[in-house]
């Protein structure tokens, strides 16, 4: 790589490099309209998102393998196609996967294509059956009691607690996947507390990743807590300044 190319990389600026002004606006607001500091915060937010990706990847990989293993023991490897086991909303997500992978795909291929929203949905209470909307599939009876209570077995958490944690993790993953900022907190869609939109601090999101991994595999929880620099990044001044700016808003209830 030539010196001129190195110079081009080192001086790239999101304000002149094609990132929209609308996307950069909150960084400008947080940094008092100082463009250089706003660019620094924008890039820091990207590094923080990248730091979250590997813990998210590990938790999701371990979780889906354990869930698939336990549900296979009870219902066979194509449990995800059984309308008497999963509710209609979850089955719709499986059917969308089948369009991508093919209806004759091996079960493990289907499992690898299912997204985090599906796995989080299996921990929810359930909903109308795809066979008869007047009937309800209760995931506690069809999924949690016979199988998933054995997956999330360390510390004996209740289904609702695991479900809430996984839903929040899915919100974090979605924000990162859609290149939305996380340095200002993670909005919890449709969740209101004390008449305010619920918002999660980044440190709380990381601790919940550790918590759900602890339920499944204590050794994974230790690995996540010791391996990744997220806590150190959140202690940096630029991170604290961004969160303080976001917390100035009275529109959110923070967790």
pLDDT in tens, 25-44: 999 999 999 999 999 999 99
Determine the pLDDT at residue 204.
97
Distances (CA, A) of 175 to 106, 180, 200: 30, 5, 12
CA dihedral 138, 139, 145, 151 (to 10 degrees): -170
Q: Tell me what the mean pLDDT of segment 133-158 comes to.
A: 96
Tens of pLDDT, residue by residue over 103-123, are 899 999 999 999 999 999 999
Residue 96 has pLDDT above 90, yes or no: yes
Q: What percent of the chain has pLDDT over 90?
A: 89
Residue 4 has pLDDT above 80, yes or no: no
- Mean pLDDT, rounded, of the chain: 93
Tens of pLDDT, residue by residue over 164-193, are 999 999 999 999 999 999 999 999 998 888
- Which tokens belong to 216? 């499944």
Cα–Cα distance measured from residue 225 to residue 231, given in angstroms and rounded to the nearest whole number: 9
Query: What is this structure's pTM?
Result: 0.90
Determine the pLDDT at residue 9.
47
């Amino acid at each position: 790589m030539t010196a001129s190319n190195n110079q081009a990389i080192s001086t790239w600026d999101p304000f002149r490099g094609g990132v929209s002004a609308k996307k950069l606006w909150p960084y400008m607001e947080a940094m008092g309209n100082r463009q250089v500091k706003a660019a620094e915060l924008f890039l820091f937010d990207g590094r923080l998102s990248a730091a979250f990706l590997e813990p998210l990847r590990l938790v999701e990989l371990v979780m889906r393998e354990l869930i698939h293993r336990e549900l296979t023991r009870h219902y066979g490897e194509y449990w995800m196609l059984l309308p008497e086991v999963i509710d209609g909303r979850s089955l719709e997500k499986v059917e969308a996967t089948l369009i991508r992978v093919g209806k004759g795909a091996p079960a493990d291929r289907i499992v690898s294509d299912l997204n985090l929203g599906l796995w989080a949905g299996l921990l929810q209470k359930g909903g109308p059956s795809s066979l008869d909307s007047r009937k309800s599939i209760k995931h506690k009876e069809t999924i949690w009691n016979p199988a998933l209570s054995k997956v999330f077995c360390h510390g004996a958490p209740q289904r609702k607690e695991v479900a809430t944690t996984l839903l929040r993790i899915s919100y974090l993953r979605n924000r990162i996947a859609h290149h939305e900022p996380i340095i200002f907190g993670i909005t919890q869609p449709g969740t209101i507390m004390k008449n305010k939109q619920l918002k999660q601090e980044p440190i709380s999101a990381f601790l919940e990743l550790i918590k759900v991994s602890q339920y499944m595999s204590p050794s994974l929880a230790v690995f996540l807590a010791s391996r990744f620099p997220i806590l150190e990044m959140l202690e940096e001044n630029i991170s604290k300044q961004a969160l303080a700016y976001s917390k100035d808003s009275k529109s959110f209830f923070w967790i």
